[in-house]
């Protein structure tokens, strides 16, 4: 991956993709795999917006049973299975549990029926060769078993629990990046910190974008036969740069937030209601409660998701201390033993998602449930422009495939079947993850610690040698960074040389897992700045500026 603006300016592409979150990244991969000439740009770092803020659940959509939305469940189950196949290093089974109460929708009977249906609808979920990826069927457990799993759950009215399996991604940032790395290996050109500021047009035909390098201020034109707008919460803002009328029916947005907290659950994710423990009549009266999900992740918990409508410019969105206090109080009500305090929140994930409406019944946000692929030649008379509005990380690949089908049609090109559902992405050439992990750890170079090697397998999969190759010249890069147990110096060098990390925050928050669960500490941040600085020729002033930017990522608005 090379940040080559001159190359972007000197080619004509089949498609230019604006926005390199998970939707843009999957689209670039699917299109490159089908032989299209692709460019993809992002105004920030790759995957640094909504996609960085996901709760990391790759879910089969058990919740959609409430609306009997079988089609959406099938889509989610299929994409979950595909991700386990093409990115086995990142996507792993996650046991989940939900306490059962009373005789209504949260009862043992209702949940037993839901689990049975979930298993029927997901009959093919285990069509994978790797036994590590098999998801057992759902089951109802007794009150005592539930209390063993979730000792702090409210016990009033508790009757037992429902257990099922979903998946979790160990690192959603590197998963998105790996789609991009794969696209680039198939000839796509990707550039970060390059903002689409306008469109190139001929009559009512879009034929590229004008883009500004946010690092230098330089402007370039990128010519293409088709533009795909995958700008997430900014899709309207991008369209407004083509014609003000296109952004006059703005996408309604909701803020969505998760907290990274002290680990207070064992190895199982839990769906917890903030009205658990109320007797049924009370529960019916108190409507303003939500189901929260607590997922154990690395050595912390991810807690959420809290929603609230958002009306401002997506660039101005910030999580406030008030938002954090409100979610903490809800979680402490749902799971009183958690007793989470503000100081135990180590990081905040906040992002913007498409909102459908506010529920008149509960006063809660109803998020947009279905993705949209908008062909602007039909919608507004602009040819050569397609917008993709995604609603879930899990299903991005499938939506991208459909969008590329449409792009091929628009380009008048012969149809080529997508293979992104079967071709492993960067690092995904692994048949049986457990065996691969054991063998890689066993045969690691002597200078690499066991924990570091296992970590490299989870983050770089079958391509861990790309990182280890840096040890040949400098074996000291095998040492874990200051204050860390396993992330090694070679990862910083690799991110800078081969993965287009241009800012310290890119390395700390997205290329490595150093800072994605909380501030990794001054010593580590300075060590990374030194390593990156010597690669990129930073002086002391630049280093302290970069360190300041990283520190500001952990600050919250009052």
Ligand X SMILES: Cc1cc2nc3c(=O)[nH]c(=O)nc-3n(C[C@H](O)[C@H](O)[C@H](O)COP(=O)(O)OP(=O)(O)OC[C@H]3O[C@@H](n4cnc5c(N)ncnc54)[C@H](O)[C@@H]3O)c2cc1C
Sort strands 158-169 and 189-191 into parallel, antiparallel or unpaired. Answer: unpaired
Instruction: Return the DSSP state at 427.
Output: T
Which DSSP string do the residues of 172-229 spell out, in sequence order? HHHHHHHHHHHHHHTT-EEESSEEEEEEEEETTEEEEEEEEETTT--EEEEEEEEEEE
Q: Is 18 in the site for ligand X (CB under 6 A)?
A: yes
Does position 23 interact with ligand X (CB under 6 A)? The reply is: yes
Among 27, 182, 230, 420, binds ligand X (CB under 6 A): 230
Mask for 236-255, x = binds ligand X (CB under 6 A)? --x-----------------
Q: How far apart are CA 301 and CA 296, in angstroms?
A: 4
Nearer to ligand X, 57 or 493 (CB): 57
Nearer to ligand X by C-beta: 292 or 426? Answer: 292
Binder of ligand X out of 34, 80, 133, 392 (CB under 6 A): 392
Backbone angles phi, psi at 47, to 5 degrees: 65, 25
If binding is defined by CB under 6 A, does position 461 make contact with ligand X?
A: no
Task: Please state the φ and ψ torsions of residue 259, each to the nearest 5 degrees.
Answer: -110, 145
Q: What is the DSSP letter of 412?
A: T
Does 16 contact ligand X by CB under 6 A? no
Beta-bridge partner residues of 539:
none
Is 51 an interacting residue with respect to ligand X (CB under 6 A)? Answer: yes
Which of 391, 399, 468, 481 forms a contact with ligand X (CB under 6 A)?
391
Selected from 90, 393, 464, 486, the binder of ligand X by CB under 6 A is: 393
Interacting positions 257-276 with ligand X (CB under 6 A): 257-258
Q: Which residues does residue 162 pair with via DSSP β-bridges, in sequence order?
A: 98, 140
State yes or no: residue 229 binds ligand X (CB under 6 A): no
Task: Please measure the distance between the N-terminal and C-terminal CA atoms of the chain and give it in whole angstroms.
Answer: 39
Contact letters (x/-) for ligand X, 185-224, by CB under 6 A? Answer: ----------xx----------------------------
Beta-carbon contacts of residue 542 (< 8 Å; ≥ 6 apart): 533
Of the pair 395, 484, the CB lying nearest ligand X is at 395
The whole-angstrom separation of Cα 433 and Cα 372 is 34
- Closest CB 319 distance from ligand X, rounded Å: 10
Q: Is 400 in the site for ligand X (CB under 6 A)?
A: no
| Strand duo 38-41 + 139-142: pairing | unpaired
Q: Does residue 88 interact with ligand X by CB under 6 A?
A: no
Is residue 169 near ligand X by the rule CB under 6 A?
A: no
Binding part of the chain for ligand X, among 15-23, 28-36, 144-152, 319-327 by CB under 6 A, reads 15-23
φ, ψ for residue 28, nearest 5 deg: -60, -45
Contact of 404 with 419, CB cutoff 8 Å:
no
Sign of CA dihedral 323, 324, 329, 330: positive
Q: At how many degrees (to 10) do helices 489-498 and 522-536 cross? A: 40
CB of 531 to ligand X, least distance (A): 25
Count of residues interacting with ligand X (CB under 6 A): 42
Closest residue to ligand X, judged by C-beta, is: 21
Residue 138: φ, ψ to 5°: -75, 160
Cα separation, 5 vs 191, whole angstroms = 7
The contacts of residue 106 (CB under 8 Å, 6+ apart) are 98, 99, 100, 273
Examine residue 547 and tell whether it contacts ligand X (CB under 6 A).
Answer: no
398 binds ligand X (CB under 6 A): no
Q: Vertex 99, ends 332 and 293: CA angle to 5°?
A: 50
User: Under the criterion CB under 6 A, does residue 256 sit at the interface with ligand X?
Assistant: yes
What are the start-end ranges of the E strands in 422-519? none
- Interface positions, 285-304, toward ligand X (CB under 6 A): 304
Q: 349 near 260, Cβ under 8 Å?
A: yes
Q: How far is the CB of 170 from ligand X (least distance, A)?
A: 13
234 makes contact with ligand X (CB under 6 A): yes
d(CA 318, CA 286): 29
Q: Does 57 bind ligand X (CB under 6 A)?
A: yes
- Piece in contact with ligand X (CB under 6 A), picked from 245-253, 389-397, 484-492, 515-523: 389-397
Minimum distance between the CB of residue 88 and ligand X, rounded to whole angstroms?
18
Question: According to the binding rule CB under 6 A, does residue 27 interact with ligand X?
Answer: no
Q: Which of residues 63 and 143 has its CB atom nearest to ligand X in the complex?
A: 63
DSSP for residue 461: G
Binding mask 307-346 for ligand X (x = CB under 6 A): ----------------------------------------
Contact between 278 and ligand X by CB under 6 A: the answer reads no
Residue number with CB closer to ligand X (19 or 88): 19
Q: Note whether 274 and 292 are within 8 A (CB).
A: yes
Does 228 bind ligand X (CB under 6 A)? Our answer is no
Query: Which residue among 40, 149, 228, 231 contacts ligand X (CB under 6 A)?
Result: 231
Residue 397 backbone phi and psi in degrees, to 5: -60, -45
Question: Stretches 54-62, 110-118, 217-225, 488-496: which one binds ligand X (CB under 6 A)?
Answer: 54-62
Of 98, 153, 163, 353, the one binding ligand X by CB under 6 A: 353
> What residues contact residue 504 under an 8 Å CB cut-off, 6+ apart?
525, 528, 529, 532, 546, 547, 549, 550
Residues that bind ligand X (CB under 6 A): 18-24, 41-44, 48-51, 53-57, 59, 195-196, 230-234, 238, 256-258, 304-305, 349, 351, 353, 390-394
């Amino acid at each position: 991956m090379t940040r080559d603006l001159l190359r972007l300016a000197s080619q004509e592409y089949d498609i230019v993709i604006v926005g390199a979150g998970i939707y843009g990244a999957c689209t670039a991969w699917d299109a490159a795999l089908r032989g299209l000439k692709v460019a993809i740009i992002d105004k920030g770092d790759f995957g640094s917006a909504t996609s960085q803020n996901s709760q990391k659940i790759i879910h089969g959509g058990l919740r959609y049973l409430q609306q009997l939305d079988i089609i959406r469940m099938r889509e989610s189950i299929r994409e979950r299975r595909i991700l386990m196949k093409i990115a086995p290093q990142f996507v792993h089974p996650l046991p989940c549990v939900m306490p059962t109460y009373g005789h209504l929708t949260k009862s043992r009977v209702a949940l037993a029926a839901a689990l049975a249906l979930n298993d029927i609808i997901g009959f093919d979920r285990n069509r994978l060769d790797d036994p590590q990826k098999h998801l057992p069927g759902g089951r109802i457990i007794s009150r005592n078993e539930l209390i063993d799993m979730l000792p702090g759950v409210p016990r009033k009215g508790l009757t037992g629990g429902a257990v099922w399996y979903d998946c979790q991604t160990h690192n959603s940032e590197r998963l998105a990046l790996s789609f991009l790395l794969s696209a680039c290996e198939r000839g796509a050109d990707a550039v970060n910190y390059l903002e689409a500021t306008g469109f190139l047009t001929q009559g009512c035909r879009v034929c590229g974008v004008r883009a500004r390098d946010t690092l230098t201020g330089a402007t370039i034109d990128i010519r293409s036969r088709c533009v795909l707008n995958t700008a997430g919460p900014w899709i309207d803002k991008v369209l407004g740069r083509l014609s003000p009328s296109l952004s006059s029916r703005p996408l309604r947005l909701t803020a969505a937030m998760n907290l990274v907290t002290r680990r207070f659950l064992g190895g199982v994710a839990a769906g917890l209601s903030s009205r658990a423990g109320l007797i049924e009549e009370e529960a019916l009266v108190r409507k303003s409660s939500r189901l929260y999900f607590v997922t154990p992740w690395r050595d912390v918990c991810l807690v959420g998701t809290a929603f609230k409508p958002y009306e401002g410019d997506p660039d101005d969105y910030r999580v406030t201390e008030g938002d954090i206090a409100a979610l903490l109080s809800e979680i402490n009500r749902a799971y009183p033993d958690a007793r989470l305090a503000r100081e135990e929140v180590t990081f905040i994930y906040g992002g913007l998602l498409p909102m459908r409406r506010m529920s008149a019944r509960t006063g809660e946000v109803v998020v947009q449930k279905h993705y949209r692929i908008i062909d602007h030649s039909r919608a507004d008379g602009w040819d050569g422009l397609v917008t993709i509005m995604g609603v879930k990380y899990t299903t991005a690949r499938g939506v991208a495939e459909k969008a590329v089908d449409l792009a091929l049609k628009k380009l008048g090109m012969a149809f080529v079947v997508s293979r992104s559902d079967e071709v492993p992405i960067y690092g995904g050439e692994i048949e049986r993850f457990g065996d691969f992990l054991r063998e890689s750890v066993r045969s690691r170079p002597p200078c690499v610690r066991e924990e570091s090697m296992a970590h490299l397998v989870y983050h770089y999969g079958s391509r861990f040698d790309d990182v280890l190759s840096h040890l040949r010249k400098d074996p000291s890069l095998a040492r874990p960074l200051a204050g860390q147990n396993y992330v090694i110096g070679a990862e910083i060098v690799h991110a800078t040389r081969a993965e287009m990390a241009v800012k310290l925050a890119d390395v700390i928050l997205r290329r490595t897992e150093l800072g994605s669960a909380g501030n990794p500490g001054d010593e580590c941040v300075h060590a990374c700045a030194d390593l990156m600085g010597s690669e990129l020729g930073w002086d002391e002033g630049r280093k302290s500026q970069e360190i300041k930017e990283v520190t500001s990522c952990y600050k919250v608005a009052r």
